Amino acid sequence: MRSRPAARQLALHASLALGGLLMLFPFAWMLLTSFKGVHQMLNDPTAWLPSPWRPQNYPDALAKMPFGLAYWNSLYIAALNVALTLLTSAMAAYAFARIRFRGSGVLFVLFLATQMVPVQVTIVPLYLILAKFGWVDSHLALIFPTVANPFAVFLLRQFIRAVPIELEEAARTDGAGRWTIFWRIVLPNIRPGLGALGIIVFLASWNSYFFPLVFLNSSELATVPLLLSQFAGGHSAIDYGLILSASAISVIPTLIAFLIGQKKIINAMAASGLGGR
């Protein structure tokens, strides 16, 4: 970009900053409102700053709902989800990239085609099937049904195809078997792909709402988004300070994690083109 650089850059910066402020506004409003009491909400709804500041909303929200437990639930479910998805889809990707077998091409297309089915289409039968397994109102319903991930297989297959085949042949001459090659050569060489995919799967699992809403009843099993929606549903619509302090409790740790790893996270989701959707 050359011509009239100074004026151009200034105008661009100004409009992008304005847009950025609009993006930031809801978060800022959440934080400020989370320190307001009901009285202020009633008397002066457009005031920006809390007066008086009411930090008590935070301990109140934490006392009313088991957010600590919900964090643990969300964390370990997402971790298991990531581990299972990465391992099994890397295995499948390896088979599609490196093993010749009958029907490989057709199976791969069928694999990708299943991606077209929205999860909402199968939710009722899935519920009935998981009820037969005895998995309803249990975390198993959140961990296993989302492991099959054709998109992940597709992405990792691209990465595996870029690993030099000579590496594998050298290992083969040294007497390594398929599994050793997969575990010792292929996986370490596709670490960037696994990292990117891991982030995407983690975020999708952490933020998921539909599955917990359908499958969980007990409040001690709730994940963070589910608990948050139950908390908001159970409080008077006017106690925004309390509701938004609960929102802040649920959001701030993820936002901090995002700010620390933002480059990796943004690049991972951009490269995938699909994000968590």
Partner 1 sequence: MAAIAKAPARPARAGRWVRTRDGWWAGLFLGPQVAFLLVFLVLPLGYAVYLSLVQWDGFGPKTFVGLGNFTAQLTDADFLRAVWNTTKLALITVPVGLALAVLIAAGLAGIKGSNFYRVLYFMPVVTSSVAVALIWQVILADDDNGVLNSTLRRFGLDGPDWLGDPGWVIVAIAIVTVWSSLGLNVVIFLAGLQTIPPQIVEAARIDGASSARIFRSITLPMLSPTIFFSTVVAVISSFQAFDQIYVLVNPAHNEGARTIVYQVYKLGFKDFQFGMSSAAALILLVLTLLVTLVQFAAQKRFVHYDS
Greatest Cα pair distance in the chain: 79
Considering the complex, state which of residue 27 and residue 58 has its C-beta at the smaller distance from partner 1: 27
Whole-number minimum distance, CB 29 to partner 1, in Å? 6
Min CB(55)–partner 1 separation in Å: 18
Whether the CB-CB separation of 139 and 77 falls below 8 Å is answered with yes
**Minimum CB–partner distance for residue 120 and partner 1 (Å):** 5
Contact 128, 215 (CB under 8 A): no
- Distance, in Å, from the CA atom of 150 to the CA atom of 113, rounded to the nearest integer, reads 8
Nearest approach, Cβ of residue 231 and partner 1 (Å)? 9
CB of 124 to partner 1, least distance (A): 4
Closest approach, Cβ 220 to partner 1, in A, equals 18
Q: Pick the closer one to partner 1 by CB: 76 or 128.
A: 128
Q: How far is the CB of 131 from partner 1 (least distance, A)?
A: 9
Long-range contacts of 128-137 (CB under 8 A, 24+ apart): 130/215, 135/215, 136/215, 137/215, 137/216, 137/217, 137/218, 137/221
DSSP class of 234:
T
Residue 36: how many CB atoms within 10 A of its CB?
A: 25
* CB of 19 or CB of 68, closer to partner 1: 19
148-187 exposure pattern, b = at least 16 Cβ within 10 A, e = fewer: ebbbbbbbbbebbeebeeeebeebeeeebeeeebbeebbb
Whichever of 75 and 232 has its CB closer to partner 1, that residue is: 232
Residues, the chain: 277
Query: How many other CB atoms are there within 10 angstroms of residue 25's CB atom?
Result: 10
Residue 57: other Cβ atoms inside 10 A: 25
What angle is formed at CA 260 by the lines to CA 257 and CA 261, rounded to 5 degrees? 85
